Structure 1
Amino acid sequence: MHPPLTLHRHPMCAEIIEAFQKCHADHPFGKFVGKCTELKIKLDRCFRQEKAVKRKVNFEQSKKLKEKLQSQRKETAGQS
């Protein structure tokens, strides 16, 4: 199972998504017997890579926010 295949939500995987959707359109019965399986595997790998990139970016943002909040707490504690 994969997430919804919307191109604007998965810019890194757009090319593979388009190929996968074309394969499904070109082979309406073949898709059930593995005609598009190779593309599905590539798509899953791409989604994993995309998720890892997003996770890293989110971690960096949360780290910066945590540091900012800690410095603000120190400033407020010093003023009291």
Structure 2
Amino acid sequence: MHTDLSSHLHTPACNKLIEELKACHENHGFAKFVGICNTIDDQVVKCLKSERVARSAANRARARERQSKYKEKILQGEAN
């Protein structure tokens, strides 16, 4: 099961792969159940994972920055 595949949540590269996967599922009604779309699905999973990893790294960087600002304020408050 994938995360939400709405286009506004993903990069253009992932959106292209998502559209290919949807088209494959529409064009191959029964064959999709025996794995005809698996290669595209694997590419989608890798793309979504790379987005998630990048988002997590950005969130960690923002958290570290926020924590350092709070620590500075606390230390300034103790010095006064």
If the length of structure 1 is used for normalisation, what is the TM-score? 0.91
CA deviation vs aligned residue, 1:8-61 (integer Å, no higher than 9, x gap): 111251110011111111111111111100001001111111111011101110
Question: Which residue is 1:7 aligned to?
Answer: 7
Looking at both structures, which has the greater relative contact order when contacts are Cα pairs under 8 Å and sequence separation is at least 6? Answer: 2
Question: Which residue is 2:64 aligned to?
Answer: 63
If the length of structure 2 is used for normalisation, what is the TM-score? 0.91
Q: How many residues align?
A: 79
Alignment partners' CA distance in 2, 1:36 and 1:59: 35
Computed over aligned residues only, the root mean square deviation of the Cα atoms, in angstroms, reads 1.0
% same residue? 27
Alignment partners' CA distance in 2, 1:35 and 1:42: 13
Unaligned 5+ segments in structure 2 are none
